[in-house]
Chain A
Amino acid sequence: GNSVTQMEGPVTLSEEAFLTINCTYTATGYPSLFWYVQYPGEGLQLLLKATKADDKGSNKGFEATYRKETTSFHLEKGSVQVSDSAVYFCALILTGGFKTIFGAGTRLFVKA
């Protein structure tokens, strides 16, 4: 079936460290891929997206590249801040579908 697998957290980093959160997917066809972020006590915000192979999504210093050959969409940021502490969800939507399929989420803590 269609699914998204993320690295387990929590991930704890010091401020200005490099961040990678791994995400791989299983899907039929050519899904669109997303990263959502959820800050404590809030809803989900779309962080970035990519709709076809080799697309790179980027926003607020975060980047992820749609890799069809490895079915991956890893999230990276060169220098994290305390304000980046949140839960990050990798997700996909199948072509023609309505249902967003989420990974389990990865909690990130950034220490000052």
Chain B
Amino acid sequence: DTEVTQTPKHLVMGMTNKKSLKCEQHMGHRAMYWYKQKAKKPPELMFVYSYEKLSINESVPSRFSPECPNSSLLNLHLHALQPEDSALYLCASSQVGTGRTEAFFGQGTRLTVV
């Protein structure tokens, strides 16, 4: 199984809503990532978890709150978002160790904030 599964595929939320994005992998990877991708741009790193601990936060606003409940799951909790937060949110996973390993990406959640 070489898949990273993200749910939901599409999400529309109001600026006062609270929602969560979910990501799951069963490749035994111990690093998991959240990326944000705007139209016609490359993905931008938001968070990295290594062995279920947050190791990188790329100065992301606190209205985005990541969580890694176990080695297979990664969540992104959303609260009080702005319309400019509308984007494709990508989850990825990779091995940990040498660091010279590729990230496997999910299909993404397309988020629209209204």
Contacts and interface: CB of A to CB of B under 8 A. Distances in A.
Contacts of A32: 100-102
A49 B105 CA distance: 15
A43 B104 CA distance: 10
B31 A98 contact: yes
B57 to A, nearest CB: 12
Contacts of B88: 43
A105 B108 CA distance: 17
A95 B108 contact: no
B23 to A, nearest CB: 11
11 contacts: A43-B90, A44-B92, A45-B105, A46-B104, A51-B100, A89-B42, A93-B101, A95-B100, A96-B99, A96-B100, A105-B41
Interface in B82-107: 88, 90, 92, 94, 98-107
A43 B7 CA distance: 13
Interface string B34-64: 0000001111010010100001100000000
A110 B105 CA distance: 25
Chain B, interface size: which category?
20 to 34
> Chain A's interface: helix, strand, loop or mixed, by majority?
loop
Contacts of A44: 43, 90, 92, 105
Nearest to B99: A96
Given A32-B100, A44-B90, A46-B102, A98 B42 contact: no
Interface of A: 31-32, 34, 36, 42-46, 49, 51, 89, 93-100, 102-105, 107
A99 B43 contact: no
Given A42-B107, A44-B105, A46-B104, A97 B99 contact: yes
A49 B94 CA distance: 14
Given A43-B6, A96-B99, A97-B99, 6 more contacts: A42-B107, A42-B108, A98-B33, A99-B45, A99-B48, A100-B92
A43 B99 contact: no
B108 A93 contact: no
B36 to A, nearest CB: 12
